[in-house]
Amino acid sequence: MIIKQAMVLAAGLGTRMRPITETMPKPLVRIGGKPMIDYVLDALVAAGVQTVVVNVHHHADQMEAHLAKEKRAEIRVSDERDRLMDSGGGLAKGLKLLDQYHPALVMNADLFWIGEPEGEPSNLVRLAGQFDPSRMDMSMLCVDQERTTGHNGKNDFSMAEDGRLTRYVADAPNPVVYAGALALMPRLFDDARDGPFNLNIYFDRAIATGRLFGTGLNGQWLTVGTPDAIAPAEAVVARYGGSR
């Protein structure tokens, strides 16, 4: 399956990245000379995505000006200037700008990876291939702790042999971290309440019905949550020579 539409969550305040984010949105912070959101857009375009919704709030004008330069895909802006909608509310609002009857990829604008093996399907291509809406509410990209940079050490889920995910508890087998990429059907959020809410509500609902699945990430995953995390992330990018 090739998924041709996506949403990028980019509206957060980036409070832990202050003072940098006092004058710019976090997704435009450069790592290895490139804004973080561009790593995300590069991965989406390479996977075959043609339409991307991006939500904006913090320094929204800067975000829109940057996105206007992207010519490889159609960019649609979900404007949250008046009200920040949190991860779930922002996703539910933005997905309305996409085709409700075709699957979509969802990514965080400030989480990315590098060093995928050459000659193999990319992480997003594999994620799209795993997603089966008849059995799954969502399929998410997951990574083990050993291949993370900048992470706080917390595991999010435990992954079964068939990819089914449950919340991680101490000593559970195959612990993984959510890597900030999902595949889903936009109409999953048809019942979403108006206003802000956290996406974890839908994660837990999918777990309760056995419909949350994961696929393992190839390469090194990076999260840049504070100014101190920039240097380690840039070192990883340099080590991989800026390759995908």
Q: Which two tokens stand for residue 163?
A: 């990819």
Q: Is residue 217 part of a domain?
A: yes
Q: Is residue 24 part of a domain?
A: yes
CB 104 within 8 A of CB 184: yes
The pTM for the full model equals: 0.94
List pLDDT tens digits, range 32-69. 999 999 999 999 999 999 999 999 999 999 999 999 99
Residue 242, pLDDT score: 60
Q: Please say if the pLDDT value at position 146 is more than 80.
A: yes
Our count of domains for the chain comes to 1
SS3 percent helix, strand, coil of the chain, rounded to 5, is 30, 25, 45
Residue 155, pLDDT score: 94
pLDDT band at 73 (very low <50, low <70, confident <90, very high): very high
Q: Please say if the pLDDT value at position 223 is more than 60.
A: yes
Q: Within 10 A of 231 (CB to CB), how many other CB atoms are there? A: 10
Q: Please say if the pLDDT value at position 194 is more than 90.
A: no
CATH value at residue 58: 3.90.550.10
List pLDDT tens digits, range 80-128. 999 999 999 999 999 999 999 999 999 999 999 999 999 999 999 999 9
Q: Is residue 68 part of a domain?
A: yes
In percent, the amount of the chain with pLDDT more than 90 equals: 90
pLDDT band at 163 (very low <50, low <70, confident <90, very high): very high
Q: Please say if the pLDDT value at position 161 is more than 70.
A: yes
E-state strands within the chain: 5-9, 30-31, 34-35, 51-56, 74-79, 104-108, 111-114, 138-143, 148-149, 157-159, 165-167, 175-184, 212-216, 220-223
- Range(s) of the domain holding residue 47: 5-239
